[in-house]
Structure formats: C-alpha cells, structure tokens
Structure 1
C-alpha cells in the first residue's frame, strides 16, 4: 500500500521557532542527503516551494529541507503500512534525538504517526477507519478527543471513532508545535526526482544562468571601469575593451548594442589616426 510519509528529524529544543522564521532550504544539502541514502540514484532537482502549500510528493520523488536542528524529508513508500517497520536506512538517515513520522493516503483513509526517542519507538498508530495496522505505546493526550468520538460521526461496528488522517494532522501540531497547514509558516523544501527524469526547464534554467554569470568578465556598463582606472600599466587594449562592451550590450538590448558598436568603431578610428601621427 502506498502512502506519503513525512519524516522530521529534530535535535532543536524548539522546532516551531525555527520553522516560523521561514528559513530557505539548501539544494546542496538535499543532494548530499540523497547521495548518502542511495549512491546509485540519479538525482534531479525538480522544484523549490513551501511543503505546506504544494501537492505532496509522488513516487520517485523526495522533498528535502535541512534547517538548524530540523531536517524534513517527504517521500512515497509502498512497503508495510506499519511505521514501526520503516526501513532503518531511511529512519537513521539523519542523526537526531527525536524522529517523527507522519503517513497518509487520503484515497484509502489511511493515516499513521510514530515517534522515536533515542532510537526507541515510543508511540505508533497506523490505521484506516475500519482496520488498525499498528497500535504501539500509550496514547498521547492529544488523542483523547478522537478516541472519545468527539471529532467524527460514528459509523458503527468495529470502526474507529475518528478519521485517522485527521488524527495525523493533530499529531503533527501537538508533537512539533508547527502548523503544517497552508495557513502556517512556509516550510521551504527542495524537490528531487530519483527515477532518472530530466530537470524541468524552469528549474534548470536559473542554475545555468547563475553558472554563466559566474564565468562572465567583471564588467558593467554603470561601473565606470574603476577596476582599470588606477592600473594604467595593465589596462586592457581599447579594442579589447570595446569588444567586451559590445558583448555586454548584446546581452542588455539590441539598441544599446548599436550605440556601443558605433563607439567601438570610433575607438578603432582614433587608434588608426594616432598611429599615423606617430
């Protein structure tokens, strides 16, 4: 059975305070995390957005964010619905004093939540309304109104008196102190695919632009070329200056390119006249 699982690895005393500051996620952190999780995966960035304001991860995708004291990982799992059987490689992928897992499948009504402290499972409840897959540990205080039937209409029989998906949302609020709904602070993540798909143009384009910018000459039309004014011995040749200026102009607009092309021809003409005078 497939479910979307969100793991929170927490070492911070107050994870809510960290999330409320809305820190940006680091794309490099996610790459390193996934490379360590499975070195054979082809890792492709596919987006950057708030976790709580976007569609959940799909198969072959990981949403990752590493903040000081808090790491968030969301993915799709298709193995056991019992969170106590979560793959140890994933469960131990980030060293943390507290680990929380929240799993949902809205189509089937499945919901599960679990808490490990110091590597020891303290509580896990994984169920659909008509079937309980796992119930480990003592219920937490936030569960009481759900078990009392105060949060959902009774449907009789052996069915649970609550919707497991709704209890998962309450578990996140109670354990993390974080409002993970769209009304809460942005939880910025970087999304990656590990199934070999190419990067979408909207993601890959800005990266290429940044890389191209880092390779450009440090020349700007408004700079006045201060870098060269005090170093006449190493100043570039006028024709080289003009060539580079035209190149910059072409990137900023064809009208500027024509005007600076004329300036280049004027510089070259001055050089020729200077040669004749000598």
Structure 2
C-alpha cells in the first residue's frame, strides 16, 4: 500500500491516448489481453519475474499495490496502473513508463488518500502542458496554465479548507475533476474497464481449485458395498489363517449390486409410464362426465277410439263375463275366493 512505501508514494494511473474519443473506446466494453500485458512488462524490464494474478474491472477492485501492475491495451487507449514510491514531481516518475507507449497525449493521475497527496499531469509530445502535485498543506509542483475546471476549486467554491494553512480543497478532489475534464468521463462511474493484473516480485501464480469429479455408478456401488461390510463368503476353518482383508468386496457382489440398481431404474421408468397413462385415462373420463345429456321424451298414449275427456276404457281384469266391473264387488257364497269362479269348491 502507498502508506507503507512513504508519505510521497501514491497509486499512479497512466493513460496513453491516441483515440479522439477515449470514452467511446471504454463504452464499447473491450476485454484486456493477457498476452499484451506480459509482453509490455517483459520489454519494460526483462529481469522481472512476471506472474499473472487476476483479471477484473479496474473500477470495482482494490488499487494496485507495490510490485503490481494493472494493464489494459485497447485500440487507441492503453492504461497502466501501479504504486510508485515518489510522485512529488514529474521528474521523479519512472521515465521508462512515460516512454513505454507511443501516444499523442499522456495523462497521469496520482492518489494517496492516507496522506491526501494528489497529482495530475498532461503531456503532449515532449512538453508538459499542465502538472500539479500537492498535499493539503504543501504544493510540490505547479507547472503550466490551470485549466478551466480548476477555477471553482481555487476560488473556494468547491472543496473545503481543513486548516488555515491548507489549500481550499483536497488535491484528490481536483485530480478526479481533471480526469473528467481530460478523458471526457469519470472512470469511477463509467462502464467496467477490464484489466489484467501482474506481479513482478516472484510470487507464485494463484491456483484455482479444480472442480470435483463426479463418481461413476460402479464407484458408488463399490463404496456402498464397502460401507455395508459385504465380503465374499468362503468355506474355511475357523482355526485356519487367511490373508483376506475384512472389507474385501468380490466382483460378483459388485456386479450383482449394479444389476439390481439398473433393474430398479428400469422398473421405476415402467411404473412412471404406467402412472402417466392411467392419469391420462382418468382425466379423459372425468372430462366426459361433465357433459349434460338430454333425457328421452316419455311415451305418450294415443287414443283413437275415444275423444278428449272420455273416461278410460275398462280392461279385461275389471270386467266379468257379464260385462260388469268386478272392482268393489263382494264374492258370493258359492264363489271361490281365490279363483273368482262361481260354483267351484274344493273337494
């Protein structure tokens, strides 16, 4: 961290720009190339042991530490971030980094929130157009004409003075204002800027745990048989010495368990299909039970011999041989109560 390097240390981000609109390049969401970063560091210092340590968004991660470089090379824009021990002036910056990439404009932004050190610089060609580096109570460098974005801070309209001898603003606030003015956008709130991180202190590359391998059916069966304590039965004398381990599972037991598992799976599929067909049949019958049926009309009795309102014609049961109705008549003395015929008696 910068506070561990010294009071003049800071996180420094270099922007090498040749594109007319850097924001358009970042807005397109390009992905950093790991090979580009490795080649860049190898040319910067061939003696460095280069180790890739990650790839992530610049605005969503912790800043680079000592012996670390965050690198992104896009068409027209190259970004380098690292921690430097002394950024009290442009002359103290590593000239190898400033001349490492060809660019029409180079923008440098330095921050150390623990010491309030902040600095920004604009280099075009070999000339320093503007450079300002300071802490709240000390100005290290002030080169060039201040930009229009600086006026509200120097006038005290933006920022806050922390002591009578301090600047009327925090230099880090002015650094972020310079980023918005020179780059055309705020890197802190812009779309993700993908970078590749490297270490040059010889640390090993972080290992990513490999995904666990799923065991096969035979392995599961073997483990289950071992946990159940199954072993091959053999006829032997109790007093005879055997070298067979206590938990040896024969192949026939494993094969038998595998067959049982496959048979159970086949039976389950058959029952599932049968249940599905039965459910379809029941659903079809229930669907037909909801339909309404029209009852058949009752049979009507047509009368051709009698007119409407005539009394019904007596039947044969209601008439005797003389044509009189037997309904309501009491049988005579010489009439059989059971047969209804007169003059017949039981012998």
Alignment of 1:127-276 (within 5 A): 127-181=134-188, 183-202=189-208, 254-255=216-217
Unaligned runs of 5+ in 2: 1-7, 221-254, 256-347
**1:42 has 2:49 as partner:** yes
1:110/1:256 CA distance change after superposition, 3 Å? farther
The 2-side partners of 1:122 and 1:3 are apart by 21
Q: Take 1:78 and 1:121, find their aligned partners in 2: how far apart are those partners? A: 21
SS at match of 2:103: coil
Tell which deviates more after alignment, 3-12 or 145-154: 145-154
Q: 55, 69, 73: which is aligned to 2:76?
A: 69
Question: Residue 98 of structure 2 is aligned with which of 80, 91, 100?
Answer: 91
| 1:16 paired residue among 23, 35, 59 | 23
Q: Report the count of equivalent residues.
A: 215
Give the Cα–Cα distance (whole angstroms) in 2 for the partners of residues 5 and 22 of structure 1: 23
Q: How much has 1:153 moved relative to structure 2?
A: 2.4
Say what the alpha-carbon RMSD is for the aligned residues. 2.2
1:111 aligns with 2:118: yes
SS for the counterpart of 2:11 is strand
Cα distance, 1:81 vs structure 2? 1.4
Stretches of structure 1 that go unaligned for 5 or more consecutive residues are 210-249, 263-278
Q: Which has the higher helix share?
A: 1
What is the distance in 1 between the residues matched to 2:217 and 2:72? 44
The SS at the match of 1:63 is strand
Query: More strand by proportion, 1 or 2?
Result: 1
SS of 1:74 mapped into structure 2: strand
SS in 2 for 1:201: coil
Following TM superposition, where does structure 1 have runs of at least 4 consecutive aligned residues deviating by more than 4 angstroms?
250-253
Cα pair 1:83 1:101 within 8 Å, conserved: no
Instruction: Check conservation: 2:159, 2:173, Cα contact below 8 A.
Output: no
Give the TM-score taking structure 2 as reference length. 0.58
Structure 1 counterpart SS, 2:175: helix
Structure whose CA Rg is larger: 2
